[in-house]
Amino acid sequence: MEVKARAPGKIILAGEHAVVHGSTAVAASVDLYTTASVRLPSSSDKDDLVILQLKDLALEFSWSISRIKEALGVFVGAISTPTSCPAECLKSIVSLVEDQNIPEAKIGLASGVSAFLWLYSSILGFVPVDVVITSELPLGSGLGSSAAFCVSLSAALLALSGSVNVDREYRGWMVYKEDELDLLNKWAFEGEKIIHGKPSGIDNTVSTYGSMIKFKSGSLTLIKSSMPLKMLITNTKVGRNTKALVAGVSERAIRHPDAMNSVFNAVNSISNELSILIQSPVDDEVCLTEKEEKLAELMEMNQGLLQCMGVSHASIETVLRTSLKYKLVSKLTGAGGGGCVLTLLPNLLSGKVVDEVIAELQSCGFECFIAGIGGKGAEISFGDLS
Ligand SMILES: Nc1ncnc2c1ncn2[C@@H]1O[C@H](COP(=O)(O)OP(=O)(O)O)[C@@H](O)[C@H]1O
Ligand SMILES: C[C@@](O)(CCOP(=O)(O)O)CC(=O)O
Ligand SMILES: [Mg+2]
C-alpha cells in the first residue's frame, strides 16, 4: 500500500516577517511541488525499519523501529490531535538525527529530518514505513520548501493512518475535505515549528489550501486576484536559514519595540491595501496599468521596510538595482537574507525587455524563472506499488 501527497511552494506578495508579529500578509501558491510517497513495506521487505529517502539529495536515513520506540515511546504513539513537540522529546529526536551523521555541508537538513520524525511517530505510531521525498522547490530559498515538505508528508501520513476520510479506490489526485484540510494544516504547522522556530503559519496554510490568501494571526481569507499577476522569480542562490532570520527580526523588535511596531503596522497597511487592490475589478487596459503601478509601489515600500527589519542582502540589492535599470520593481520573498526575489512583470511589458532583464540577472550568477501562481494546494493519490 502506497500513498503519495504533493504540496506546493509559495510566494509572499507582502508581509513576510511582519506576519510573525501579527501583521497581515498576502501569499499565493506556486506550481512547484514537494511530493512525499509513503509505503508500508510488504511482508517480504525488511519490516522493522523506518526509511526516509531524500531523492533529489541522494540521501537515505533509516532507523529501526525499536530504536525509535526506545527514544520516543514515552512521548508519542499515534496522537490523534495536532500537538507541539515537547522540548524533552525534541532532544530525543535530535539524538535520533545525530545517529545518521548528516554531512556538515547538509546540516540544514537536520531540522527537516527532525520534523519528519515528529510527524511520522505522532501521526502513524511506530510502524515500519518507506518514505520517499522529491521536490521541485529549491531548499532554503524563500519559496516555502519547509512548509511544502511538512504539508506533503503530513497529508500522506494522515491518509495512510486512516484519520481522514478518503476514497482509497480512486486513482488520481484528490483533495481533502474542508475540515480535514484544517487537520492537515495544523499537523504541518507543528512540523514547521520544528524547522522555523516561530512560524506564522502562512506558508503551511497556503501550501495546504493553495490559491491566494490573506493571512493574519493564524486566520486565512481566500482571495482571488482580478488582475493577471506575472512575477519573475530570481533565485540569488545565496543560502540562508529562515529560523535564524526570524529570530534576528524578533531580537531587533526587542531592542527597538516602538520603531519596529511602527514598521510592522506599516507592513500591515501595505498588505491590506495590496489585497484590496488586486481584488478590485479591472475595467480596461489603462486601469490595469494604473493598478500595476500601485502594486509596484506597494512592493517597493514593503521592500524598504524589510530592509528596516535587517533581512535584505547584497545579492537581493543587486537584483533590485538590475531590475530597476529596466524600470521594474522587485522585493524579496520569504525570509530574505539571500534566497528569492520577485520582480513584477507588467502585462504590457515586451518579451524583449523580459529576456534582457533575465539575461542580465543570469549574468550575475542568479537563476530566473516564471512560475504559475495561485494554483492548487495539497493533493493525495493512492496507488499499489507492491
Ligand atoms: N525536500 C526536503 N527534504 C528534507 N528537508 C526539507 C525539504 N524541504 C525543506 N526541508 C527542510 O526545510 C529547510 C529549509 O526551510 P527554510 O529555511 O524555512 O527555507 P524555505 O522554506 O524558504 O525553503 C531545509 O534546510 C530542510 O531542513
Ligand atoms: C519570514 C516568514 O514570514 C516566511 C518565511 O518563508 P520561507 O521559509 O523563507 O519560505 C516566516 C513565517 O511567516 O513563518
Ligand atoms: Mg520555510
Atom of ligand 2 nearest to the CA of 336: 9
Q: Whose CA is nearest to atom 5 of ligand 1?
A: 112
Among 196, 188, 177, 229, smallest CA distance to 28 is for: 229
Ligand nearest to the CA of 309: 2
Among 371, 301, 310, 374, smallest CA distance to 340 is for: 371
Mutate to test the pocket of ligand 2, among 193, 246, 311 (most ligand atoms within 8 A of CB): 246
Among 41, 40, 50, 35, smallest CA distance to 4 is for: 35
End-to-end CA distance of the chain: 7
pLDDT, mean over the chain: 95
Residue 385 has a pLDDT of 40
Find the 115 Cα to ligand 3 centroid distance in Å: 12
> CB of 246 closer than 6 A to ligand 2?
yes
Instruction: Report whether pLDDT(202) > 70.
Output: yes
Find the 325 Cα to ligand 3 centroid distance in Å: 31
Ligand nearest to the CA of 32: 1
Strands 367-370 and 129-135, how do they pair? unpaired
Looking up cell 501520513, which residue turns up?
157
pLDDT tens digits for 34-68?
999 999 987 666 679 999 999 999 999 999 999 99
Catalogue the long-range contacts made by 157-161 (C-beta closer than 8 Å, 24 or more residues apart): 157/38, 157/119, 157/120, 157/123, 157/124, 157/187, 158/123, 158/183, 158/184, 158/187, 159/3, 159/5, 159/380, 159/382, 160/1, 160/3, 160/38, 160/40, 160/124, 160/129, 161/78, 161/123, 161/124, 161/125
Find the 340 Cα to ligand 1 centroid distance in Å: 14
Atom of ligand 1 nearest to the CA of 241: 17
**C-alpha–C-alpha distance, residues 127 and 77, integer Å:** 10
pLDDT tens digits for 258-303?
999 999 999 999 999 999 999 999 989 889 999 999 999 999 999 9
Predicted ipTM beyond 0.90: yes
> CB of 334 closer than 6 A to ligand 1?
yes
8 A C-beta contact, residue 36 and residue 52: no
> CB of 241 closer than 6 A to ligand 1?
yes
Atom of ligand 2 nearest to the CA of 199: 14
Residue 244 has a pLDDT of 96
**What radius of gyration, in Å, describes the C-alpha atoms of the chain?**
21
8 A C-beta contact, residue 86 and residue 96: no
pLDDT tens digits for 216-227?
999 999 999 999
Average confidence (pLDDT) over 366-370: 98
8 A C-beta contact, residue 332 and residue 240: no
> CB of 242 closer than 6 A to ligand 1?
yes
Atom of ligand 2 nearest to the CA of 18: 3
> CB of 97 closer than 6 A to ligand 1?
no
Looking up cell 484519520, which residue turns up?
163
Instruction: Report whether pLDDT(384) > 60.
Output: no
> CB of 338 closer than 6 A to ligand 1?
no
pLDDT tens digits for 298-319?
999 999 999 999 999 999 999 9
Among 233, 207, 230, smallest CA distance to 155 is for: 207
**C-alpha–C-alpha distance, residues 131 and 146, integer Å:** 16
For residue 233, what are the CA distances in angstroms to 120, 236, 368?
33, 10, 6
Mutate to test the pocket of ligand 1, among 37, 55, 149 (most ligand atoms within 8 A of CB): 149
Find the 140 Cα to ligand 3 centroid distance in Å: 7
Among 32, 26, 3, 29, smallest CA distance to 14 is for: 26
Helix (H) or strand (E) holding 180: helix 178-196
8 A C-beta contact, residue 218 and residue 189: no
The x, y and z cell numbers of residue 233, run together, are 522569480
Helix (H) or strand (E) holding 164: none
